[in-house]
Amino acid sequence: MTTDQLTGADRGSLVSELLGAHPDNEKLRNVLHGLPGVDAVGLEQRSAALSTRSIKTSSKVWALDKIIALIDLTTLEGADTPGKVRSLATKAMHPDPSDPSCPQVAAICVYGDMVPYVVEALGETHGDPDDGKISVAAVATAFPSGRASLEVKLADTRDAVAAGADEIDMVIDRGAFLSGNYLKVYNEIVQVKAACARPDGSFASLKVILETGELKTYDNIKRASWLSILAGGDFIKTSTGKVQPAATLPVTLLMLEVARDWYRLTGEKIGVKPAGGIRTSKDAVKYLVHVAETVGEEWLQPHLFRFGASSLLNDVLLQRQKLTTGRYSGPDYVTID
């Protein structure tokens, strides 16, 4: 059974239809290698065409505000301290202290041991970004390498959720994936998702980081995206930000197409998060266009699309100030190429 033979089904029934009651490596390989190959030239040409789109100056303020509201403001350094992440929380809540109309970011992304300090600093602002709050995301599973035992990865995840993390950004075992051990990758995602459980029966959202710069080929990225969704991921994320290349527009377009195809099959919306290397508002707007033209503007909300970034916010705020204070004197249309 291949994906182009499937009819509409929810995630559970689709996984059962594809993999049976007991997934094994052969079944996973048959599904993943049965996916249509990626037309690399066509993908890159479409991404290049979308990147030349222009938007009206009047729409650019909306776009800049939308970018801010979709940012996972991130610090993932060995030198992170409680004071640093508290300052980051303040910036997340008040990106532009001089302008109260400036939106908050979607989330703050930190290492698991920093989660309690972020939760404390956010106070009543901590919550669902779709409700105007700020979420707390934690990287886990031996980020960024993923080189640890499953027991360590699960403990890492449980600790972060217990500390108050709303979202877990896990890394897949790229070595296992590239060696064809799809079952190991699949099982780890399934078990990390289970470790996202809270006492009330709800789950922290799970973002699965593919580290696309190490997967090398578009076909591998497509297969890893499908594998992550089949195993229970709520988001597919490009990169850790520690490997180059990190997020690119063609790779993000490919992952958006996977999310679109999954939605057409199941009616379930999967989130996409490009992360690493997105530093300017001009580039971020290109990502918005890719989203709107591939899965639709309805995906431009925090539970379906995020930017993983540490420096992007500063440039967006600068461009926003230029527009909202009237100091902008450019043309009526602002190109984003």
At 27-68, the pLDDT tens digits run 999 999 999 999 999 999 999 999 998 777 778 899 999 999
Q: Three-state SS for 60?
A: helix
Query: Phi first, then psi: what are they for 272, rounded to 5°?
Result: -130, 135
Residue 298, Ramachandran bin (φ over 0: left; ψ between -120 and 50: alpha; else beta): alpha
In tens, the pLDDT along 81-103 reads 999 999 999 999 999 999 999 99
Q: Which domains does the chain have, with CATH numbers?
A: 3-328 (3.20.20.70)
Q: Whole-angstrom Cα distance, residue 252 to residue 233?
A: 16
Look at the pTM and tell me if it is higher than 0.85. Answer: yes
pLDDT of residue 332: 40
Question: Which candidate, 234, 208, 232, 231, places its Cα nearest to that of 221?
Answer: 208
Catalytic residue ranges? 169, 237, 273
Average pLDDT, integer, range 148-157: 97
pLDDT, averaged across the chain = 92
Q: Please, are residues 173 and 211 in contact by the beta-carbon 8 Å criterion?
A: no
Residue 25 · residue 182 · CB < 8 Å = yes
Contact 223, 12 (CB under 8 A): no
pLDDT at 234 over 60: yes
Report the chain's terminal Cα–Cα distance, integer Å. 42
pLDDT at 113 over 50: yes
pLDDT band at 310 (very low <50, low <70, confident <90, very high): confident
Residue of 269, 304, 264, 276 whose CA lies nearest to 288: 304
pLDDT tens track for 269-305: 999 999 999 999 999 999 999 999 999 999 999 999 9
